[in-house]
Structure 1
């Protein structure tokens, strides 16, 4: 029994470590690409657009911590639009047309994946979210090629993510229910079944996961506003500094949200789950 508990604790620790690493990549990737491509003398707006394209490719691959990340799709969704952006720029099409072309190709890949995988299963809400963000990217990219504007586009993506999270809050599958069920189940099918039963029976249990979902939506919306303020509080020629500074608020907000959820909601939800599991008769 103790060995099983240790394995479950280790699995949970690895799951959360993967989640944190995933968030760190999301936060740092655009800035890393911005700096890494500096020797090419490519405009900052274009470098940021490529960073965003790589991030979109990673996003459409799915949640890394789930163990079902689609690597081939992620590579196609990241590298093909990047090649289109670079190819259009080198062909002399200019910054904005190059970025729009890359965004259009990203959208086509995401839409194609949605159509291809729709048959026989529920539409992937996360993929729909990525598609909405790519469409927004096409529209915004066509407006301006200013580096600060490209950098501030992330605020819209976060805003869409926040609205998406809030929209799922009162649905049958709030975002955090989907994300945290594997953690609560600890790889045990009996616990996974008990999770579903508890969800159906307990309004308090549902409330904890809905509160965490609403909190995450609020975090994204607050950060979206702060990011715009931070980006435009610095001169246009300090885009690298703006990129770094604008990343600061989200980790702080996520830490506060995580601490509240881990300290208040998760332990109470786990107690309800354990009580339901204990009520289930053991088969002879």
Structure 2
């Protein structure tokens, strides 16, 4: 199982598990709101043990748990199942705004996401990757474009999700909204992977430049 698939599995599980639980309960005659609450609980049921096995606090896992708790509470108070299905629209709109902001403030968020792909965990390449951000306009432009494209994809899914929620019955909308969700995750991963060769070349050039500078500084004939 390659590194990319391992990174995707938790995200795909967060989409697939609650959907499977909801449809199973729905087929058994459970009403929409209790079925969605149970689906939230099922997702939390494997997110918490996952953090315990890793023996570390998983920020993404905590976010999922907080999101599910808020959703279950909202469902219990309002009784409106569609509000829970609008959850991705709200979060992805906020996420897209954060992604866009990172293009102009600090470093684009894809910088961190692409780091293991471009460096392969090599400490020297990681250091060169860091230097490349400061020394290579191409590196900065690549990440800003990637981050902006990811934000656009998130906004597109957020709008599509709202359309699905209010165009179909709850039982159909809950399943249909997962399809573009999975497509969004895969699209962002494909965009990152497609730029890895370019980023790797930038890192290679930075390593060569640094090695040349070091050799020149230590060469007694210089």
TM-score, with normalisation over the residues of structure 1? Answer: 0.60
2:207 aligns with 277
* 8 Å contact from structure 2 (residues 117, 196) kept in 1: no
* 8 Å contact from structure 2 (residues 102, 108) kept in 1: yes
2:152 aligns with 218
Among 9, 33, 56, which residue is 1:21 paired with?
9
Which one scores higher on RCO, CA 8 angstroms, separation ≥ 6? 2
Query: Secondary structure, in 3 states, of the residue corresponding to 1:280?
Result: helix
Among 178, 182, 187, which residue is 1:251 paired with?
182
Among 63, 72, 75, which residue is 2:52 paired with?
72
Consecutive unaligned residues of structure 2, counting only runs of 5 or more, are none
Among 181, 185, 189, which residue is 2:119 paired with?
185
- The alpha carbon displacement at 1:240 in A equals 2.8
* 8 Å contact from structure 1 (residues 219, 250) kept in 2: no
Where in structure 2 are the equivalents of 1:105-254 lying within 5 Å? 133=67, 137=71, 140-141=74-75, 144-235=78-169, 239-254=170-185
Query: Secondary structure, in 3 states, of the residue corresponding to 1:25?
Result: helix
Decide whether aligned partners of structure 1 residues 30 and 234 sit closer, same or farther in structure 2, where only a CA change above 3 A counts: same
Over residues 37-80 of structure 1, what are the superposed CA-to-partner deviations in whole Å (9 max), with x where a residue is unaligned? 44775432232234345546777x7xxxxxxx9622999xxxxx
Deviates more, 1:173-182 or 1:253-262: 253-262
Decide whether aligned partners of structure 1 residues 157 and 197 sit closer, same or farther in structure 2, where only a CA change above 3 A counts: same
- The alpha carbon displacement at 1:255 in A equals 4.3
Q: Residues of 2 paired with 1:53 and 1:170: CA distance? A: 38
Over residues 208-250 of structure 1, what are the superposed CA-to-partner deviations in whole Å (9 max), with x where a residue is unaligned? 1222222222212211110111121123xxx332212122223
Q: Residues of 2 paired with 1:243 and 1:182: CA distance? A: 34
Over residues 163-215 of structure 1, what are the superposed CA-to-partner deviations in whole Å (9 max), with x where a residue is unaligned? 23223333334321122212211121111111111112122202212222222
TM-score, with normalisation over the residues of structure 2? Answer: 0.75
2:31 aligns with 43
What value does the CA root-mean-square deviation take over the aligned residues? 3.7
Decide whether aligned partners of structure 1 residues 73 and 260 sit closer, same or farther in structure 2, where only a CA change above 3 A counts: closer
